[in-house]
A and B are shown apart, each in its own frame.
Chain A
Amino acid sequence: MATALDKPPVSVGSPSTSSQPKSGFRKYWHLYAAISPFYLLFLCFGLIPVGFSLYLSFHRWDGLGSMEWAGLSQYKYLLSDTDFWNSIGNTLIIWALATFPMIFLAMITAVMLNSAVRFKNVYRFAYFLPNVTSVVAIAIVFGSVFSTNFGLVNALLQAVGIDQIAWLNTPWGIKIAIATLMTWQWTGYNAIIFLAGLQTIPSELYEAARMDGAGPVQTFFRITLPMLRPVLLFVLVISTVTGLQSFSEPQVLLQNTSNDSTFAGGPGHSGQTMVLYFFQQTFDNNDFGYGAAVAWGIFLVVILFSIVNWRLVQRRGED
């Protein structure tokens, strides 16, 4: 790679660019060299593995022996694989269950943090803390919070006269438990981002609104929310990206309820997200070819959502 960079590329000498100083690359090579580490690393650890996984997805491979050409059969199987579709459904449901309450709570927290005067930094720190705590540790704690006989949640339910629920052993209980964990983990982080957004709103707007006789509710919906829209979209995009890749949360939370495979996602695969399914196929079954196809399936789902997000952001630019 380094030798290729030292030599001027052939295209520099081509007729279309000959009017420019010939030494364009030679003049700036040290700048290119300075930024090259990222691209070299990206090539080694990003692009090549990505290319290889595409190549892999057209083969059958157990990880050790020889690869066997499989054509499109892995993808054909992927389309008919109910477990894969189920995992997409799980991921989206868990994402929705986690994201909407999270945004709502983060917004409230941010508005409160914005008005609080005392110990502001202490609060910010406290709200941010869940985000930098290890997911594994959180999942273990949540595992006991949601346990059937001695869990905190069931204790609260029983206190108000509701029967206990086997959270980690029922399809919806599992999804709610995972979503709660994710909500808890990300609310503070997003509240901080909302807070940053709130502080960029000029105070004149609020003053003007007050002059015109707007109440706090009206102010929130007519000024705060519209002004926060770009921040809201940012939060949505980030939570989509993290939500679609959720792995550790269900893996650690459900490893006891998933017999044999720690990637099975509990009874009925109800907590098996896309990435968990990928792990199960690849590493439990040693089916690396199919695992690669699943990875590309996940890639397509993420692309689809990215396009949706992108359209949302675009529309903001129009108005």
Chain B
Amino acid sequence: MRLSRRGLLRAGLAGTAATALGGLASGCAVPTGSTGRNMVLWYWDGGLGDTVVKNAKARYDSTVDLQAIKIGGYYRSKLITTMAGRAHIPDIAGLKGEDMASYLPNSDQFVDLRTLGADKYKSQYLTWKWEQGIADDGTMVGFPIDCGPVAHFYQYGVFRKAGLPYEPADVSAELNTWEKFFAAGEQLRKRIPGSSLVTDVNSIFENVVNQGSKRYVDKDRHFIGGEEHVRQAWALAVEAKQRKIVSNLVSGTPDQLSAVEDGKLPSQLGASWATSDLKTGVPKTKGRWRVADMPVRPANNGGSFLSITKACREPEEAFRIITWMMNAANQAQGFVDAGLFPSTPASYGLKTLRAPDPFFGGQDTMDIFGPAAQKITVAYNSPFDIALGQPLKDEIKNVGVLGKDPKKAWSDAMSKCRRIADHLGVSY
């Protein structure tokens, strides 16, 4: 078959026109949501507690047919595509914390939860978490599910052998600045040759950025990734490399796991959900771990939201369901089911959460995570943060792994950011 260029162009144009027409037609023809009786809920594996979902189904069975669907694969892109297609949109949609920034500018796709009376629940939730679910225009898009307070996981025996503080209270008190944390890393390396305090420089860089109240792009669409707060995180990461407290291993690889198991990597700065990674990744280390406060102040990493989409026919009913699923008792159940750290401080005192954890040598980890979760600062998450944070993370990785000159890496990151900012319409 001969295909002329003109023919191709013509076909392409026809296709485009057909798409535009199709788009118009679908606006009124295809059912956008479910009927009032059906209530479709989208979430991902581990996004909600199984028991909570099951109980919600039973509880609201008389009024709605709640269909909770676990969506596999790349969740955000599936949700966005479905919403852009304007058909079969779920009534209630889980939103991952790291994706929030990309949903918030499109708050018109969601029901403003304040119009349903969300404000009266506000006092029960962590303030910073509540604020994260609200768009710039004041629309409340996301209702808090869980959060991810970051703490310092360490191996008790190794710290003790290295002559470092080893009781959680002492570690929290004595390793409370980055300087002391790095000094501890040097001492560890001296006393136990071949060991490193942390896996890579990125864990330092990203945790320091996460501790702050500013990230890479501000509310006015201005690039702030070259300012003091990022420079400081960068400098600390470089210092960690220069003082040789980071390993040359890669997180999650068999090499790293075996180093963790051998006590050669006795420390990690991880969010509350990292406990389950440790339990499944290095089960043999059971009993050796303890949790303490991370240096300086706690940070947040992860945590998600529930939203009601514009396609929902029964927003009031949907709102009743999510507020029930996210009450303090069910959040505690979510923690038991899936390790979802509650965003309701009232849960922290509940008996189900207050249990000595044998994996942590009988420590009650809620003593660390609970107070940490309440001390987190709110940072503005821009939809451009992912694109403009990536060059910095890439370049600090080059410093850490490939031994690139930090000055050169910084200037490369900045020139890359300038180019990307220009392209995305972010002022530099």
- List of A residues within 8 angstroms of B173 by Cβ: none
B15 to chain A, nearest CB (A): 3
* Known contacts A257-B250, A268-B398, A268-B402; is-contact A62 B109 (Cβ 8 Å): no
Is A264 a contact of B390 with CB atoms below 8 Å? yes
Chain A interface: which of B50-58, B76-84, B215-223? B76-84
Contact of A47 among B11, B102, B258 (CB under 8 A): B11
Please, which residue of chain A has its CB at the minimum distance from the CB of B393?
A: A259
Is B102 a contact of A149 with CB atoms below 8 Å? no
Please, which residue of chain A has its CB at the minimum distance from the CB of B12?
A: A51
A266 to chain B, nearest CB (A): 9
* Known contacts A63-B80, A168-B250; is-contact A269 B15 (Cβ 8 Å): no
- List of B residues within 8 angstroms of A283 by Cβ: 74, 76-77
- List of B residues within 8 angstroms of A14 by Cβ: none
Taking CB atoms and an 8 Å cut-off, the chain A residues in 58-78 that contact chain B are 60, 62-65, 73, 77
B1-32 to A contact mask, C-beta < 8 Å, 1/0: 00000000001111110110010000000000
Taking CB atoms and an 8 Å cut-off, the chain A residues in 254-280 that contact chain B are 256-257, 259-261, 264, 267-269
* Known contacts A268-B402, A284-B386; is-contact A48 B105 (Cβ 8 Å): no
**In the assembly, what is the distance between CA of A62 and CA of B101, in Å?**
11
Is A168 a contact of B253 with CB atoms below 8 Å? yes
A166-178 to B contact mask, C-beta < 8 Å, 1/0: 1011110000000
- List of B residues within 8 angstroms of A63 by Cβ: 77, 80-81, 84, 102
Is A48 a contact of B15 with CB atoms below 8 Å? yes
Is B397 a contact of A267 with CB atoms below 8 Å? yes
B415 to chain A, nearest CB (A): 10
Please, which residue of chain A has its CB at the minimum distance from the CB of B388?
A: A285
B184 to chain A, nearest CB (A): 24
Any A CB within 8 A of the CB of B334:
no
* Known contacts A150-B258, A287-B424, A290-B423; is-contact A267 B398 (Cβ 8 Å): yes
A43 to chain B, nearest CB (A): 8
Contact of A256 among B102, B251, B398, B401 (CB under 8 A): B251
Is B13 a contact of A65 with CB atoms below 8 Å? no
Contact of A64 among B106, B248, B254 (CB under 8 A): B106
A200 to chain B, nearest CB (A): 28
Count, chain A residues at interface, CB 8 A: 45
**In the assembly, what is the distance between CA of A51 and CA of B19, in Å?**
8
**In the assembly, what is the distance between CA of A236 and CA of B82, in Å?**
39
Please, which residue of chain B has its CB at the minimum distance from the CB of A171?
A: B402
Any B CB within 8 A of the CB of A55:
yes
Please, which residue of chain B has its CB at the minimum distance from the CB of A77?
A: B423
Contact of B250 among A65, A144, A256 (CB under 8 A): A256
**In the assembly, what is the distance between CA of A268 and CA of B225, in Å?**
20
Please, which residue of chain A has its CB at the minimum distance from the CB of B387?
A: A285
Please, which residue of chain A has its CB at the minimum distance from the CB of B389?
A: A260
Number of interchain pairs (Cβ within 8 Å): 118
**In the assembly, what is the distance between CA of A155 and CA of B191, in Å?**
28
**In the assembly, what is the distance between CA of A268 and CA of B402, in Å?**
8
**In the assembly, what is the distance between CA of A44 and CA of B394, in Å?**
39
Any A CB within 8 A of the CB of B211:
no
Taking CB atoms and an 8 Å cut-off, the chain B residues in 381-416 that contact chain A are 383, 386-387, 389-390, 393-394, 397-398, 401-402, 416
Any A CB within 8 A of the CB of B227:
no
- List of A residues within 8 angstroms of B397 by Cβ: 259, 267
- List of A residues within 8 angstroms of B81 by Cβ: 63
Is A50 a contact of B394 with CB atoms below 8 Å? no
Please, which residue of chain A has its CB at the minimum distance from the CB of B423?
A: A77
**In the assembly, what is the distance between CA of A168 and CA of B252, in Å?**
13
Is B16 a contact of A51 with CB atoms below 8 Å? yes
Is B15 a contact of A80 with CB atoms below 8 Å? no
**In the assembly, what is the distance between CA of A169 and CA of B402, in Å?**
8
- List of B residues within 8 angstroms of A55 by Cβ: 16, 19
Is A143 a contact of B15 with CB atoms below 8 Å? no
Is B253 a contact of A65 with CB atoms below 8 Å? no
Any B CB within 8 A of the CB of A147:
yes
Please, which residue of chain B has its CB at the minimum distance from the CB of A254?
A: B250
Any A CB within 8 A of the CB of B272:
no
Is B16 a contact of A260 with CB atoms below 8 Å? no
- Which A residues are within 8 Å of any B CB, using their own CB? 43, 47-48, 50-52, 54-55, 60, 62-65, 73, 77, 80-83, 143-144, 147-150, 166, 168-171, 256-257, 259-261, 264, 267-269, 283-287, 290
**Given A55-B19, A260-B390, 8 additional A-B pairs, CB 8 A:** A51-B11, A51-B19, A52-B15, A80-B419, A147-B255, A169-B248, A256-B252, A269-B394
- Which B residues are within 8 Å of any A CB, using their own CB? 11-16, 18-19, 22, 74, 76-77, 80-81, 83-84, 102-103, 105-106, 109, 202, 206, 248-255, 258-259, 383, 386-387, 389-390, 393-394, 397-398, 401-402, 416, 419, 423-425
A/B interface sample: 23 pairs, CB < 8 A = A47-B12, A48-B15, A50-B12, A51-B14, A52-B15, A54-B12, A64-B102, A65-B106, A168-B253, A256-B250, A256-B253, A257-B253, A259-B397, A261-B390, A267-B397, A267-B402, A268-B398, A283-B77, A284-B390, A285-B386, A286-B102, A287-B424, A290-B423
